[in-house]
Amino acid sequence: VGTMRRLLGGLPRRLPRRFRAGFSTRVHEESPPILERDPTLKRTGDVRYSDELITLDPTQIPDVPAYRVMDESGNLLHPQRNYGLSTDKLVEMYEIMGEVMVVDHVFMQAQRHGRISFYMQNTGEEAIQVGSAAALEDKDHVFAQYRELGVYLSRGFDMQQVAHQCFSNVHDFGKGRQMPIHLGASHLNLHTISSPLATQLPQAVGASYVLKRRGEGACVICYFGEGAASEGDFHAALNFASTMDCPVIFFCRNNGFAISTPTHEQYRGDGILSRAHGYGMAGIRVDGNDMIAVYEATKEAREYAVSENRPIIIEAMTYRRGHHSSSDDASAYRCDKELKWWQTNNDPVARVRMHLESLGAWDSDKEAELRQLHKKKVMKCLNAAEKAQKPPMSDLFNDVYAEMPPRLIRQKARLDEHLAKYPDDYKLGKFASEDVYKSSK
């Protein structure tokens, strides 16, 4: 301890009681006061001792079941229970799921035709997106990964803006600087999606800490796939969130594949949920293809995070039916038979539709009308976005700093000079002028 004092310089000669356990070799008969306030904390001086050698065997720990409300045919397991969703709300949520499906089809085809450069589908995960978004409040903040289109649409993100962003045009909130489907809207508390895997997790923790300090009674929800849980940022984020008591929901979409890597090659143990215990966090496992169950799980998690100022993990078990992205060919690592089984036996959209039909709130005519309506709307947005100009060239230099430094001013001047000298080589008519750009905002 004396050496430690000399190295750290600032430590007092006698440590306060709450810090002594970490520096003492004496076995405490009683737990120090800090443990009374936080039973999840375990430190060297606070460990119980035993004369029996114990080896933890993970195969002897029972798996945590996934919570569900509906079976695969849309039948409620407990029809008498009130799940807090009216029939009108269920129809509204189902319509958003249908819109996601149409967007996936139209925009994937647009990418194949070379109209946009990239796209990521949501097929098979619609219930996760729409169900979780319905349980949030407007003041909550969202950090998405890239497969959460239904979350964005549920929170009021405009379909036309989705198209603008995918074409990186002058109307894009992101000013054409992001890959397609990397959406964001500050006025909706939708933080812009980042391409690097798992970077959103520590960012979400920081944002949730700010919300706690402000006393806003809000939380952050952070979406990620089970593959992102292998990144270092995942572990750093969970540790920070737990030790700093942050109101954040870590929402894991366990969809079976990290691009082409199946879960059995990605991790061992009882999924991602099992890691909650190691970080002293609460956790929920839910059937990710059951929209009502996802809603209930997220609502419960939100109430816990906000009231307790504590993090919580939700692991939603689902299956990614589409390619990882437009750059992927899923047939290279999974068979068509597997894909068809999930489509036939455990489709999250069909589940909700069958439930609504059992309530007398939906039928085949309404289904056909909805699909046609969505297709017209999505095609109209796609065509309008394609015709719009690109952001002005000056946006290459704007917003990098609050005030443009001299070196960027010089670079911009050289570019302007170059473009003035060779205007025909750059098709400058595709780019909006500064005046047009400002008026569009």
Q: pLDDT per residue over 126-167, tens digit each?
A: 999 999 999 999 999 999 999 999 999 999 999 999 999 999
pLDDT of 434 above 50:
yes
pLDDT digits (tens, 9 = 90+) for 18-76: 333 333 333 444 444 444 445 566 666 678 889 999 998 988 989 999 999 999 999 99
pLDDT-derived band at 9, boundaries 50, 70, 90: very low
Q: Assess whether pLDDT exceeds 90 at residue 4.
A: no
Predicted pLDDT of residue 31: 45
Q: What is the pLDDT of residue 441?
A: 52
**What per-residue confidence (pLDDT) applies to 435?**
63
129 neighbors 144 (Cβ within 8 angstroms): no
CA dist 205 and 241 (Å) reads 6
Provide DSSP, 66-91. Answer: PB-SB-TTS-BSSTTS--S--HHHHH
* Banded model confidence at residue 400, pLDDT cuts 50, 70, 90: confident
- Asked if the model's pLDDT at residue 5 lies above 60, the reply is no
* b/e burial code for range 321-359 (CB count within 10 A of at least 16 → b): bbbbbbebebeeeeeeeebeebeeebbbbbbbbbbbeee
Gap between the Cα atoms of 326 and 329, Å rounded: 8
- Per residue in 349-367, pLDDT (tens digit) is 999 999 999 999 999 999 9
CA distance 115 to 132: 32
CB 356 within 8 A of CB 362: yes
What percentage of the chain exceeds 90 in pLDDT? 83
pLDDT classification of 440: cutoffs 50, 70, 90: low
What letter represents residue 89's amino acid?
K
Question: What residues form DSSP beta bridges with 257?
Answer: 262
pLDDT value at residue 433:
87
Over 90: is that where the pLDDT of 324 sits? yes
Q: Which helix (H) or strand (E) holds 273?
A: none
Query: How much is the pLDDT for 322?
Result: 95
Name the more confident of 48 and 420.
420
Please report the pLDDT score of residue 369 as a whole number: 97
Q: Is residue 212 a contact partner of residue 245, using CB atoms and an 8 Å limit?
A: yes
State the residue for tokens 């001086």: 45
Which residues does 255 contact at the CB level (< 8 Å), separation at least 6?
124, 125, 225, 226, 288, 318, 319, 320
Note the pLDDT tens digit of each residue in 281-309: 999 999 999 999 999 999 999 999 999 99
Would you say 84 and 299 are in contact if contact means Cβ atoms under 8 Å apart? yes
Residues 80-115 have pLDDT tens digits of: 999 999 999 999 999 999 999 999 999 999 999 999
